[in-house]
């Protein structure tokens, strides 16, 4: 059993804290947002993540998981301090590390014995050095400490499962003591542990997300070629993906990547490289392909409908991907804005993201289900590949639409079947 303090109860901090408590560690989660802490104490979980509520409630009741606004309380009673505060992008794409700096200082001022300070937030390489300098400066009692980097690879929608069953655990350390503590902490997960120096660990996080974004942009570029050549992207990636060196994952063409991580992390990595004196041109092209993919998709809608003005367009899916209510950098936002700009009336539905969408979208009609969206629409546009849409009663949809047009940004239907069912069906790269 380890005594752990997690500072920052966003996606990463809250899931990590809950999962460590589930592994029988004693965890104190700290957040400066008093409202959020109050909510969590009442068992109300501020994010939608399968399985998370149960773990939080169970471990809270068992006394292994607690919540506070006080960094002092967390630091005084824990050996391992995770920094998991947000590092949002600044205007120029670099990460804003001011929260990390504030937390590092507060941790240092409250240390009364050895502490291991672990950075879990996604940060640029060399942040560990800066955190170490800060801790040294405010370490009034001059106690021993170590710094480590332990990047997080969880995905939204499967965050608990990803944390409990990771492909690998990366620990960037500079002392045997720190390595031993982190190896013991993660031993129950029985996952491969990669031990590196701190800077390498910091780079692994940005490099992994950038490489996955690169795979997606590669598939989207190929989809463009397939359309021009009259080939089928689904068959091309199936053929490529079986090569073990390539792998089938993250080769789905569509309307490009969104979410809170990929766009931010690719932009940040380009900047980090630039500051180090390297022009990571390859990643700039990855971004460009991703941007263009949304623009091309809207063009496809326009070409299919000819005139968009005064048409009713139904949008299926708003979240940036299925199984989440997150709409940060969601392609749906750009696509809807463009269609509205051209004078279309827009109806929308998403199985989880409606509450979030109501705050972000103006002038659209929010529907209770996919059929209400289809009713009287001139076209349906699939933006997020929720299972609910894959299992639609298409005969019913066809009957209630004004025109049987479906433009599918996620390739969830089979073109031949759609034609058979009487739809004008457009998808990506086929």
**Which residue, 130 or 155, has its beta carbon nearer to ligand UDX?**
155
Pattern 196-235, ligand UDX, x by CB under 6 A = -------------x--x---x-------------------
Measured CA to CA, the distance from residue 141 to residue 133 in angstroms comes to 15
The length of the chain, given as a count of residues: 430
Q: Which of 251, 270, 273, 344 binds ligand UDX (CB under 6 A)?
A: 251
**Which residue, 149 or 252, has its beta carbon nearer to ligand UDX?**
252
Residue 252 binds to ligand UDX (criterion: CB under 6 A): yes
Active site residue 261: yes
Q: Which of 124, 172, 258, 429 binds ligand UDX (CB under 6 A)?
A: 258
DSSP structure string for 192-238: -EEEE-HHHHHHHHHHHHHHHHHHHHHHHHHHHHHHHHT--HHHHHH
Task: Give min distance, CB of 197 to ligand UDX, in A.
Answer: 21
Task: Give min distance, CB of 279 to ligand UDX, in A.
Answer: 24
Task: Name the segment binding ligand UDX (CB under 6 A); options: 14-22, 111-119, 142-150, 246-254.
Answer: 246-254
Task: Give min distance, CB of 156 to ligand UDX, in A.
Answer: 4
Q: Which of 212, 344, 389 is nearest to 283 (CA)?
A: 212
Give CA 44 to chain center in angstroms: 21
Measured CA to CA, the distance from residue 316 to residue 333 in angstroms comes to 12
Measured CA to CA, the distance from residue 22 to residue 60 in angstroms comes to 10
Q: Which of 257, 297, 389, 425 binds ligand UDX (CB under 6 A)?
A: 257
Q: Which of 5, 29, 261, 367 is catalytic?
A: 261
Task: Name the segment binding ligand UDX (CB under 6 A); options: 72-80, 174-182, 239-247, 249-257.
Answer: 249-257
Task: Give min distance, CB of 326 to ligand UDX, in A.
Answer: 8
As given in the structure block, the two tokens for residue 173 are: 């350390």
Q: How many CA atoms lie within 13 A of 124 on its CB side?
A: 21
Report strand pairing: 80-83 vs 3-7.
parallel
Q: How many CA atoms lie within 13 A of 192 on its CB side?
A: 4
**Which residue, 92 or 167, has its beta carbon nearer to ligand UDX?**
167
Instruction: Please list the residues that pair with 30 across neighbouring strands.
Output: 7, 68
# of chain residues touching ligand UDX (CB under 6 A): 19
| Residues 41-100 within binding reach of ligand UDX (CB under 6 A) | none
Q: Which of 74, 128, 254, 429 binds ligand UDX (CB under 6 A)?
A: 254
Task: Give min distance, CB of 138 to ligand UDX, in A.
Answer: 30
Measured CA to CA, the distance from residue 75 to residue 5 in angstroms comes to 7
**Which residue, 74 or 429, has its beta carbon nearer to ligand UDX?**
429
In the sheet that 379-382 helps form, which strands lie side by side, from edge to edge?
365-366, 345-349, 312-316, 379-382, 405-408, 424-426
Q: How far is CA 280 from each of CA 126, 273, 390, rounded to the nearest angstrom?
A: 18, 6, 38
As a dihedral over the C-alpha atoms of residue 306, residue 309, residue 310, residue 316, rounded to 10 degrees, the angle is: 70
| Residues 136-165 within binding reach of ligand UDX (CB under 6 A) | 152-156
Residue 263 binds to ligand UDX (criterion: CB under 6 A): no
Task: Give min distance, CB of 320 to ligand UDX, in A.
Answer: 5
Task: Name the segment binding ligand UDX (CB under 6 A); options: 56-64, 112-120, 255-263, 295-303.
Answer: 255-263
Q: Residue numbers of the site for ligand UDX (CB under 6 A)?
A: 152-156, 209, 212, 216, 250-252, 254, 257-259, 261-262, 320-321
Active site residues: 261
């Amino acid at each position: 059993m380890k005594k752990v303090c997690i500072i920052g109860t966003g996606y990463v901090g809250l899931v990590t804290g809950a999962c460590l408590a589930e592994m029988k560690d004693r965890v104190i989660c700290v957040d400066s947002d008093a409202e959020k802490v109050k909510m969590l104490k009442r068992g109300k979980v501020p994010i939608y993540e399968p399985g998370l509520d149960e773990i939080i409630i169970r471990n809270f009741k068992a006394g292994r998981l607690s919540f506070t606004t006080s960094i002092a309380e967390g630091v005084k009673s824990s050996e391992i301090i995770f920094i998991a505060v947000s590092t949002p992008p600044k205007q120029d794409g670099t990460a804003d590390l001011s929260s990390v700096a504030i937390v590092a200082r507060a941790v240092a001022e409250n240390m009364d014995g050895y502490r291991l300070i672990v950075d879990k937030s996604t940060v640029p390489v060399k942040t560990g050095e800066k955190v170490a300098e800060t801790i040294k400066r405010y370490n009034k009692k001059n106690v021993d400490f170590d710094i480590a980097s332990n990047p997080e690879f969880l995905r939204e929608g499967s965050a608990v499962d990803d944390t409990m069953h990771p492909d690998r655990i990366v620990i960037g350390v500079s002392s045997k003591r720190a390595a031993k503590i982190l190896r013991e902490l993660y031993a129950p997960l029985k996952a491969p542990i990669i031990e590196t120096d701190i800077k390498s660990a910091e780079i692994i996080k940005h490099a992994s997300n950038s490489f996955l974004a690169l795979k997606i942009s590669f598939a989207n570029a190929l989809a463009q070629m397939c359309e021009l050549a009259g080939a089928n992207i689904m068959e091309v990636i199936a053929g490529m993906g079986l090569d073990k060196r390539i792998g089938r994952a993250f080769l789905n063409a569509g309307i490009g990547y969104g979410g809170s991580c990929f766009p931010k992390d690719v932009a940040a990595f380009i900047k980090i490289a630039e500051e180090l004196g390297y022009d990571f041109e390859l990643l700039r092209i990855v971004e460009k392909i991703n941007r263009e993919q949304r623009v091309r998709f809207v063009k496809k809608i326009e070409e299919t409908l000819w005139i968009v003005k005064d048409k009713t367009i139904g949008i299926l899916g708003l979240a940036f991907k299925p199984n989440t209510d997150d709409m940060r950098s969601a392609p749906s936002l750009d696509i809807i804005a463009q269609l509205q700009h051209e004078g279309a009336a827009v109806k929308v539905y998403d199985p989880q993201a409606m509450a979030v969408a109501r705050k972000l979208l103006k002038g659209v009609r929010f529907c209770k289900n996919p059929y209400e969206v289809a009713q009287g629409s001139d076209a349906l546009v699939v933006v997020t590949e929720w299972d609910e849409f894959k299992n639609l009663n298409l005969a019913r949809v066809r009957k209630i639409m004004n025109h049987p047009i479906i433009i599918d940004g996620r390739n969830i239907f089979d073109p031949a079947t759609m034609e058979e069912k009487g739809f004008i069906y457009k998808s990506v790269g086929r």
